[in-house]
Amino acid sequence: MDALAGLAQANRLEIFRLLVQRGPGGVRAGEIASTLGLAPATLSFHLSALRHAGLIECEAAGRERIYRVAFEHMHALVDYLTENCCGGADCHPANQRRSA
Amino acid sequence: MDALAGLAQANRLEIFRLLVQRGPGGVRAGEIASTLGLAPATLSFHLSALRHAGLIECEAAGRERIYRVAFEHMHALVDYLTENCCGGADCHPANQRRSA
DNA sequence: ATTATATTTCGATTATTCTGGAAATATGGA
DNA sequence: TCCATATTTCCAGAATAATCGAAATATAAT
């Protein structure tokens, strides 16, 4: 639920998608701010929300901080949404698409 | 983004998950209200949000209304989250899990 | 037609979240 | 040490969202 709330805000969703697209290398906070045009305090607020939601991780590198997606958690979220779909039985065909 | 905002609220997430678990048969508004203990006006507010987000659909049946998950849209949302992951290249292993 | 049931809309209040300036913290370089 | 840069925390105001009583709407039953 925190994860969904994390992504429910336009700025946070943009941050998250930027990080998803950049992959494991991550992105510096400052670069996120300039890319998305956010004030430092505002960015920090949202990064904090995403971090508490478990959706992103942070690594210190000197005086910079590098943020990246927590990929495992991202997939857990995706699975959560379809959990116990249709009570497990006689499931709608569309829901078979992803079964492992 | 509307879809994520739709699921970002505790009551709405519970509604959605109830509908996911019940599957294509759907659930009457009144039953949702009594199951989750929501006032009629509050439930209606949230159902409306979920409907505008495209996450659920509504079918009239006499004076009752039956809500069900919009399964196609649910899957589109799930795909959206991982779209263009890692810029398409040198993707983190965890993201291969679901590739069709 | 009248009454009962199911649900939505309206409206006002309350609660929560977002925003960004300014100050604080932390690191690096001269 | 002193100054510059990167980021966060603090705080207060602004914006948005949630809640629910009451009224409205729609259908069904008698």
The minimum CA-CA distance between A43 and chain B, rounded to whole Å, is 18
A90 within some domain? no
Tens of pLDDT, residues B76-90 = 887 777 676 666 654
Tens of pLDDT, residues B14-40 = 999 999 999 899 999 999 999 999 999
User: What rounded mean pLDDT belongs to chain A?
Assistant: 85
Q: Which residues contact A22 (CB under 8 A, 6 or more apart)?
A: A68, B86, B87
Q: What is the pLDDT along chain A (100 residues), one digit of tens a residue?
A: 678 888 889 899 999 999 999 999 999 999 999 999 999 999 999 999 999 999 999 999 999 999 999 988 888 887 787 676 666 554 545 444 443 3
Q: What is the pLDDT of residue A46?
A: 97
Could you list the residue range(s) of the whole structural domain that residue B50 is in?
A: 2-96
CB A4 within 8 A of CB A73: no
Nucleotide nearest to A39 (CA to C1'): C20
CA of A9 to C1' of C18 (A): 10
- Which of A1, A85, A86 comes nearest B10 by C-beta? A1
A89 within some domain? no
A99 within some domain? no
Mean pLDDT confidence for B58-65: 96
| Beta strands per DSSP E along B2-99 | 27-28, 56-61, 64-69
CB A33 within 8 A of CB A85: no
Q: What is the CATH number of the domain that holds A70?
A: 1.10.10.10
CB B47 within 8 A of CB B56: yes
Q: Which nucleotides of D are covered by protein (CB under 7 A)?
A: 5-11, 17-23, 26-28
Percent with pLDDT over 90 in chain A = 58
Please name the residue that has the structure tokens 């109830």: B18
Closest CA to B76 of A81, A54, A7: A81
Q: Which residues contact B65 (CB under 8 A, 6 or more apart)?
A: B28, B29, B58, B59
Nucleotide nearest to B51 (CA to C1'): C8
DSSP string, A23-45: GGG-EEHHHHHHHHT--HHHHHH
Contact, B8 CB vs strand C, < 7 Å: no
Q: What is the pLDDT of residue A100?
A: 30
pLDDT at B72 over 80: yes
Q: How confident is the model at residue B75 (pLDDT cuts 50, 70, 90)?
A: confident
Query: Over the range B71-82, which residues count as b (16 or more CB within 10 Å of their CB) and which as e?
Result: bebbbebbeebb
Number of domains in chain A: 1
